[in-house]
Amino acid sequence: MKSQATDGPQAPGQASIKTRRFTISLVWIVPIVAVLIGISLVVHNLLQEGPSIVVTFKTGDGLTANKTEVKYRNVVIGHVSDVELTDDQKNVVATIKLSKQAESFTREDSQFWVVRPRIGAGGVSGIDTLLSGDYIGADIGQANNRAKNFKGLENPPAITYGEPGKRFTLHTPDLGSLDIGSPVYYRKIPVGQVVGYALDKDGKGVNIDLFIHSPNDAYVTENTRFWNASGIDVSVGANGFALKTESLSSMLVGGIAFRAPDYSPNDKAAAEEYAYELFPDQQTALAPPNGKPQYLSLRFDQALRGLKVDAPVEFLGIEIGKVVAINLDFDEKKQSFPINVGIVIYPQRLGRAHDKLVKALLHDPDDEAAGVRLIGTFIENGLRAQARNGNLLTGQLYIALDFYPKAEKVAFDVNARPIVIPTIPGSLEELQNKLQAMVDRIAKLPVERIANNLDGNLTELRKSLVQFNTKTLPSVQSTLADVSKTLQSANSTLAEDSPQREQLSQTLDELKRMSRSLREFSDYLGRHPESLIRGRPDNAAPSDMQGPPRN
């Protein structure tokens, strides 16, 4: 091969330089283009790939690698790429690859849970997974910080997708039949549900979280009262039977109802997370404010069958408190078993009467000594406690505070705590005492001697009647018969149209009526000999004087 000559003369002592041009064959163009396209696709996929997160669940039920999808509002936003156990083998870790558009689901307060068929207080959910299979539900958070590791929920959250409304907190001694998803009612219309519950820090109560959907959350005011509307509220007490329920759903899964009292001046909408007390029933929830309680002690010397704790305490017919304790005691002096009853009253429930009483007596409600002196004044004027029967059907008793001016005076101990209110026997007890006194009086009567005397008198009367019927009455009848014959013979001698005949006829008629009356009188005495002592009854029928016809 010959080399090409360089331009110009070659300098002495210099080697000649040979040059070549680099040329590409058309055969390599296609592979190069394919490589470039592949690189662009890889770069594009890398740019479009979303973040990966790790969610820890208690079990791997329903989780399958490269199959289980992640959905938000039923739209796929990722899928499970790997499922494996944790190092301690107590939980399951699912690696999830999210799409680029779902990058906001890496916020640290985002929530993930497995959607499967469930039956709960809120109803039946996840039915569509019977055909499509289980999937992971997601709800976007609101925090600004990002996270990669999340703890999956065992149950779906009650509120998702940023539902507008407000959350509120209720405090109650126990949860009862409530559960997550239990409905919340306003005037018997469902407007929210229970979204969570937890014990207090001291473990002495339960805090329940509610969510009220917008726009119904505006009806929750600072003066709103919440009460438990679960199941069927059946109460049998001194006030009789009471049967209440909010709805069929609340009977099965529990529920809460709320409403503000009818008179709520200067009321305004409650803020988010406002705390309330959960009352056991509607009547207690909507009752006037109790105010400061006053504990009193009662001592009864009678049996109190039918008196229960929580029985009402009334003052002049107005319920102002309830029974809080019933204990049996022993009196060494009387060798008896009295019953001590503890009650709590709320004077503020008297309303205007309480306000006027405070003003009239210049009484300070916060001054305990002044309150004791006031109660002592009431006792001097006859204030007494009495156990009364509130319902004859159930036999339930209640405590009544009333004034009895004629009650026996008692000494009032101003230093006793709690304050002791004197008692009087119950109305039923008084009735029983009166009946017993009447029975005792009747028992003291000489009933047997009176009966013997009466029996002897009746025997003598029977003997007299027998003598009258056998001896006196026949002689009278024979005499009347002789007179009648004499008159008849005289009548035959008289002319038919003479005045003497007419007078004689009238005399005979009178004699016949007299004979009939004597016979009837004799028959009546034979049937009713006691009438000679008691007299003829006022309601005796005229037919009683009529005897059977005589031949």
Is residue 234 scored above 60 in pLDDT?
no
Q: What is the reported pLDDT for 5?
A: 44
Most confident of 38-52, 285-299, 505-519: 285-299
Is residue 45 scored above 70 in pLDDT?
no
- Residues 440 and 493: their CA atoms lie apart, in Å, by 76
Could you tell me which of 523, 529, 525, 528 has the C-alpha nearest to residue 458?
529
- Is 311 buried (19+), middle (13-18) or exposed (0-12) by CB count in 10 A? buried
Task: Output the DSSP codes for 14-66.
Answer: PPPP--------GGGHHHHHHHHHHHHHHHHHHHHEEEEEEEEES--TT--TT
pLDDT tens per residue, range 77-113: 999 999 999 989 899 999 999 988 888 899 998 999 9
Where is average pLDDT lowest: 59-68, 205-214, 290-299, 529-538? 529-538
**At 513, is the pLDDT very low, low, confident or very high (cuts 50, 70, 90)?**
confident
**At 151, is the pLDDT very low, low, confident or very high (cuts 50, 70, 90)?**
very high
- Residues 398 and 310: their CA atoms lie apart, in Å, by 9
Q: What is the pTM of this model?
A: 0.53
The residue with tokens 């709690």 is 418
Task: Give me the phi and psi of 251, to 5 degrees please.
Answer: -65, -30
Bridge partners for 344 per DSSP: 295, 322
Q: Which residues of 464-488 are buried (b: 16+ CB within 10 A; e: fewer)?
A: ebeeeeeeebeebeeeeeeeeeeee
pLDDT tens per residue, range 163-216: 889 999 999 999 888 888 889 999 989 999 998 899 988 888 999 999 999 999
- Residues 501 and 489: their CA atoms lie apart, in Å, by 11
- Residues 19 and 87: their CA atoms lie apart, in Å, by 66
Q: What is the reported pLDDT for 428?
A: 59
Rounded-to-10 torsion of CA 44, 47, 49, 53: 160
Name residues whose C-beta falls within 8 Å of residue 345's C-beta, 6 or more positions apart in sequence: 293, 294, 296, 313, 315, 320, 321, 401
Q: What is the reported pLDDT for 22?
A: 54
**At 119, is the pLDDT very low, low, confident or very high (cuts 50, 70, 90)?**
low
pLDDT tens per residue, range 257-296: 999 888 777 788 899 899 999 998 888 888 777 778 889 9
The letter for the amino acid at 217 is D
Listed in order, strand segments (DSSP E) in 292-364 are 294-300, 312-315, 318-328, 339-345
The letter for the amino acid at 186 is Y
- Residues 545 and 531: their CA atoms lie apart, in Å, by 12
Could you tell me which of 59, 114, 53 has the C-alpha nearest to residue 86?
59
- Residues 124 and 359: their CA atoms lie apart, in Å, by 60
HSE of 316 in the Cβ direction (CA atoms, 13 Å)?
A: 8
- Is 213 buried (19+), middle (13-18) or exposed (0-12) by CB count in 10 A? middle
Is residue 398 scored above 80 in pLDDT?
yes
More confident site: 32 or 259: 259
Reported for 406-413, long-range contacts at CB under 8 A and 24+ positions apart, including other chains, are: 406/382, 407/382, 409/380, 410/379, 412/376, 412/379, 412/380
Q: What is the mean pLDDT of residues 228-240?
A: 61
Task: Give me the phi and psi of 201, to 5 degrees please.
Answer: -65, -35
- Residues 228 and 527: their CA atoms lie apart, in Å, by 76
Q: Which residues of 341-380 are buried (b: 16+ CB within 10 A; e: fewer)?
A: bebbbbbbbbeeebeeebeeeeeeeeeeeebbeebeeebe
Q: pLDDT averaged over the chain? A: 79
Is residue 536 scored above 70 in pLDDT?
no
- Residues 207 and 174: their CA atoms lie apart, in Å, by 9
Task: Output the DSSP codes for 377-417.
Answer: HHHHTTEEEEEEES-TTT--EEEEEEE-TTSPP----TT-S
- Residues 267 and 269: their CA atoms lie apart, in Å, by 7
The letter for the amino acid at 127 is I
Could you tell me which of 405, 389, 224 has the C-alpha nearest to residue 312?
389
Name residues whose C-beta falls within 8 Å of residue 192's C-beta, 6 or more positions apart in sequence: 165, 183, 184, 210, 211, 212, 213, 216, 217
Is residue 13 scored above 60 in pLDDT?
no
- Residues 139 and 71: their CA atoms lie apart, in Å, by 9
Where is average pLDDT lowest: 51-65, 73-87, 231-245, 297-311? 231-245
Could you tell me whether strands 135-139 and 118-120 are parallel, antiparallel, or unpaired per DSSP bridges? unpaired
Q: What is the reported pLDDT for 8?
A: 53
**At 225, is the pLDDT very low, low, confident or very high (cuts 50, 70, 90)?**
very high
| 3 state DSSP class of 451 | helix
**At 546, is the pLDDT very low, low, confident or very high (cuts 50, 70, 90)?**
very low
More confident site: 490 or 262: 262
What's the sign of the alpha-carbon dihedral 326, 332, 333, 335? positive
Could you tell me which of 305, 300, 306 has the C-alpha nearest to residue 338?
300
Is residue 66 scored above 60 in pLDDT?
yes
pLDDT tens per residue, range 295-342: 999 999 888 888 899 899 998 888 888 999 999 999 888 888 999 999
Is residue 6 scored above 90 in pLDDT?
no
Is residue 67 scored above 50 in pLDDT?
yes
Q: What is the mean pLDDT of residues 416-427?
A: 84
Is residue 345 scored above 70 in pLDDT?
yes
